[in-house]
Amino acid sequence: MNEIKANLILDAKGLACPMPIVKTKKAMTTLEAGQVLEVLATDKGSTADIKAWAGSTGHQYLGTLEDGDVLKHYLRKSSGEEATERKHPNVATNDELLTKLQNNDSIVVVDVREAAEYAFDHIPNSQSIPMGELESRLNELNKEDEIYVVCRTGNRSDFAAQKLAENGFTNVINVLPGMSQWTGETKSINN
Amino acid sequence: MSKVAIIASNGGLFDAYKVFNIATAAAATDQEVAIFFTFEGLNLIHKEANQQLAMPEGKEHFAEGFANANVPAIPELVAMAQELDVKFIGCQMTMDVMGLEKESFVDGIDVGGAVTFLEFAKDAEVTLTF
């Protein structure tokens, strides 16, 4: 079974409705914005409930893995990231990146979302380097490459693009808006 | 914050689960919840009665199912609902009729009349009766 990194794991196995939701709510309050919660549950109704719960509380439902009888739900705490101002000057639209990919141009796509977000939905052949790990993993990238940075809405990727530019990467492009409205092909841990 | 207004007017074990499951789920989903306990519904928050609520006649065999499904006991759900800030309103009129005092009920309830509940419910998006 694939492992997905989470900031906190909540064990709600063996609990019946509404306990998984009640416990999820409590666990979520202990996390910081942008962090990922993994909820282990055996209540079969929990998949629909967790999805609906995320929808009405504004948190991001990433996906669910089945591991035997155990359901592993992944949620990301809402961050209010929609409001920030973007500073990296070099940007491309989703469609422009899609065209580059379809033309097989030699580009690198770096996905700076959390590993759990990447796991359930990402551009094929994109490289996962979560924002928090970028600084320590710069050696995995080449300074000369044409690097397209994606996240969910274009804000984390803006920070990442700035960070790369500061470190001598010369051809870095922030992709807007990013995975939230990506229409091209994607891969998931579930397929 | 959207509101959920619930009237609990029946006092059996099944009724209690319907009321408290919906109430705790709603509260955990960031909704403001109030329950008006009236007539037999008062059993659900009565300190002694809610420890031993009856199953409907002929359904006693479900007791095992409840145990197997690891469903929390009613007093636990009551405590959880209160922890999630669900507001409990006991019906004054029923308490008077049945000769019950506020002290017989779990701590932290409000006692009020129909208008107390209606004041809360008037702008609730969801209103439920059990």
Indicate if A93 and A169 belong to the same structural domain.
yes
Domain residue limits at B92: 3-129
| Residue A186 within a domain | no
Contact A16 B72 (CB under 8 A): yes
Domain final residue pick, A27, A50, A76: A76
- Name the one residue in this structure whose structure tokens are 């779990």: B106
Mean pLDDT of each 10-residue bin along chain B, 130 residues long: 95 96 95 96 96 91 86 94 96 94 95 92 95
Residue B64: the pLDDT is 87
Instruction: Give residue-wise pLDDT tens across range A31-61.
Output: 999 999 999 999 999 999 999 999 889 999 9
Indicate if A94 and A152 belong to the same structural domain.
yes
- Name every residue whose Cβ is closer than 8 Å to that of residue A163 and which is 6 or more positions away in sequence: A134, A135
Indicate if A97 and A57 belong to the same structural domain.
no
| Residue A62 within a domain | yes
Instruction: Give residue-wise pLDDT tens across range A132-149.
Output: 999 999 999 999 999 999
Residue B6: the pLDDT is 98
Residue A190: pLDDT band (50, 70, 90) is confident
Indicate if A87 and A172 belong to the same structural domain.
yes
Tell me the shortest Cα–Cα distance from B99 to chain A, in angstroms: 34
Residue B32: the pLDDT is 96
Number of structural domains (chain A) is: 2
Indicate if A70 and A127 belong to the same structural domain.
no
Indicate if A61 and A122 belong to the same structural domain.
no
| Residue A2 within a domain | no
Domain final residue pick, A30, A57, A76: A76
What is chain A's length?
Answer: 191
Strand order in the sheet with A127-128: A91-93, A172-176, A147-150, A108-111, A127-128
Domain residue limits at A114: 81-181
Contact A16 B25 (CB under 8 A): no
| Closest residue in B to A25 (Cα–Cα) | B28
CA proximity to A116, closest of A72, A160, A69, A83: A72
Residue B81 burial (10 A CB sphere; 0-12, 13-18, 19+)? buried
| Residue A1 within a domain | no
Provide the 3-class DSSP secondary structure of residue B47: coil
Distance CA A16, CA A45 (A): 9
Indicate if A106 and A57 belong to the same structural domain.
no
CATH number, position A56: 3.30.110.40
pTM above 0.90, yes or no: no
CATH number, position A177: 3.40.250.10
Residue B76: the pLDDT is 94
Indicate if A60 and A129 belong to the same structural domain.
no
CB contacts of A21 in chain B (<8 Å) are 24-25, 28-29
Indicate if A67 and A159 belong to the same structural domain.
no
Angle between helices B74-83 and B13-28 (to 10 degrees): 30
- Name every residue whose Cβ is closer than 8 Å to that of residue A120 and which is 6 or more positions away in sequence: A62, A63, A74, A188, A189, A190
Number of structural domains (chain B) is: 1
CATH number, position B120: 3.40.1260.10
Provide the 3-class DSSP secondary structure of residue B63: helix
- Name every residue whose Cβ is closer than 8 Å to that of residue B79 and which is 6 or more positions away in sequence: none
Answer yes or no: is the ipTM higher than 0.90: no
Distance CA B63, CA B66 (A): 5
Residue at A64: amino acid letter: T
Interface test with A, best of B2, B24, B29, B77 (most A CBs within 10 A): B29
Indicate if A157 and A112 belong to the same structural domain.
yes
Strand order in the sheet with A60-67: A8-12, A36-41, A70-76, A60-67
| Residue A120 within a domain | yes
CB contacts of B21 in chain A (<8 Å) are 17-18
